[in-house]
C-alpha cells in the first residue's frame, strides 16, 4: 500500500511550493491536482469547447490523457507546463472545477496516481473527498493580501503583465467560488493540521510539514544524531 499525504488550501497559501519541497525531501512524487483542472480548461479552450456546457466538458475530459511526470504536465502527449499557468487559463479553470463529471474523472486519475507512488498531493479536496483516509493531512492558509502578492510575483516572473489589484480581485472571486461551490468545496478536513503561512518562510513551513510526516511514519524528525 502506497503512502499519501494531503495538502489543501486556497491559491497563494504556499501549498504548491511546500508540497514540492516536502516531496523532494522524502523522495516521494508530487501530485499537483490544480494542474489537472487547468489542463482540462486548456484543452477546452484549444478545442473550442464551450466550458459552460457541462456535458461537453465532461465528454472532453473523459477523452483526455493528463500525466504528471516529475516537473512536467503533459496533456495528450504535449508538455503544457507553462501554457496552463496563463491568466486566461487561470480564469476559466473554474468551469472544470465546478463540473461534477470532471471532478469525478480527475479524482479517478488522482487515486490511480497515488496507487502507484508514495505521494504528496495538493489541491482543494484532497483531504476531504479524494483521500479521506490519508493518515496525514494539512490545510495551509495565509491572509488574502499576502496570497495575492505571492501570485502577482509569480505572474510577473513568467512575463505576464497583470496588476496587483486584478490579481487580488480574481483571487477574491476564486476563493468565493472554491469555498461556496456545492461540489467538493474548499475546506479543511476535520483531521487536518491547519497552518497559517502569513509572515513565515516557505522553508519553515516545509520543515514543519516534513517533520510531522516523518513522525507519523514513525521516523525521527531529526537528521542529526541526538547529543550523548
- Footprint on this chain of ligand DC (rule: CB under 6 A): 11, 33-34, 37-38, 93-94, 97, 123-125, 174, 178
Between CA 199 and CA 145 the distance in angstroms is 11
Between CA 85 and CA 211 the distance in angstroms is 31
Instruction: Using the minimum distance from each CB to ligand DC, give the nearer residue, 117 or 171.
Output: 171
Which of these, 158, 165, 153, 140, lies nearest to 11 by C-alpha position? 140
The least distance separating ligand DC from the CB of residue 134, rounded to whole angstroms, comes to 13
Give, in degrees to the nearest 5, the angle at Cα 223 between 2 and 196. 70
Between CA 104 and CA 188 the distance in angstroms is 20
The least distance separating ligand DC from the CB of residue 228, rounded to whole angstroms, comes to 46
The least distance separating ligand DC from the CB of residue 178, rounded to whole angstroms, comes to 5
Instruction: Using the minimum distance from each CB to ligand DC, give the nearer residue, 16 or 214.
Output: 16
The least distance separating ligand DC from the CB of residue 225, rounded to whole angstroms, comes to 39
Instruction: Using the minimum distance from each CB to ligand DC, give the nearer residue, 87 or 211.
Output: 87
Instruction: Using the minimum distance from each CB to ligand DC, give the nearer residue, 28 or 155.
Output: 155
Grid coordinates standing for 42?
486548456
Grid coordinates standing for 209?
510539514
Measured in whole angstroms, the distance separating CA 219 from the mean position of its chain's CA atoms is: 26
Which of these, 35, 40, 21, 41, lies nearest to 140 by C-alpha position? 21
Q: Which helix (H) or strand (E) holds 61?
A: helix 54-63
Instruction: Using the minimum distance from each CB to ligand DC, give the nearer residue, 89 or 136.
Output: 89
The least distance separating ligand DC from the CB of residue 38, rounded to whole angstroms, comes to 5
Amino acid at each position: 500500500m502506497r503512502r499519501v499525504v494531503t495538502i489543501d488550501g486556497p491559491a497563494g497559501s504556499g501549498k504548491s511550493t511546500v508540497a514540492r519541497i516536502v516531496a523532494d525531501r522524502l523522495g516521494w512524487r508530487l501530485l499537483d491536482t490544480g494542474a489537472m483542472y487547468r489542463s482540462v480548461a486548456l484543452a477546452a479552450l484549444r478545442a473550442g469547447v464551450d466550458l459552460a456546457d457541462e456535458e461537453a466538458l465532461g465528454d472532453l475530459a473523459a477523452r483526455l490523457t493528463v500525466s504528471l511526470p516529475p516537473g512536467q504536465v503533459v496533456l495528450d502527449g504535449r508538455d503544457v507546463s507553462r501554457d496552463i499557468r496563463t491568466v486566461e487559463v487561470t480564469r476559466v479553470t473554474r468551469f472544470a472545477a465546478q463540473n461534477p463529471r470532471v471532478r469525478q474523472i480527475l479524482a479517478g486519475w488522482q487515486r490511480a496516481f497515488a496507487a502507484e507512488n508514495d505521494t504528496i498531493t495538493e489541491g482543494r479536496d484532497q483531504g476531504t473527498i479524494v483521500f479521506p483516509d490519508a493518515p496525514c493531512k494539512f490545510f495551509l492558509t495565509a491572509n488574502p493580501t499576502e496570497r495575492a502578492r505571492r501570485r502577482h510575483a509569480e505572474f510577473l516572473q513568467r512575463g505576464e503583465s497583470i496588476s496587483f489589484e486584478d490579481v487580488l480581485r480574481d483571487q477574491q472571486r476564486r476563493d468565493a467560488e472554491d469555498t461556496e461551490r456545492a461540489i467538493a468545496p474548499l475546506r479543511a478536513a476535520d483531521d487536518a493540521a491547519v497552518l497559517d503561512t502569513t509572515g513565515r518562510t516557505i522553508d519553515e513551513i516545509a520543515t514543519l510539514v516534513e517533520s510531522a510526516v516523518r513522525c507519523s511514519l514513525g521516523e525521527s524528525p531529526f537528521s542529526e544524531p541526538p547529543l550523548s
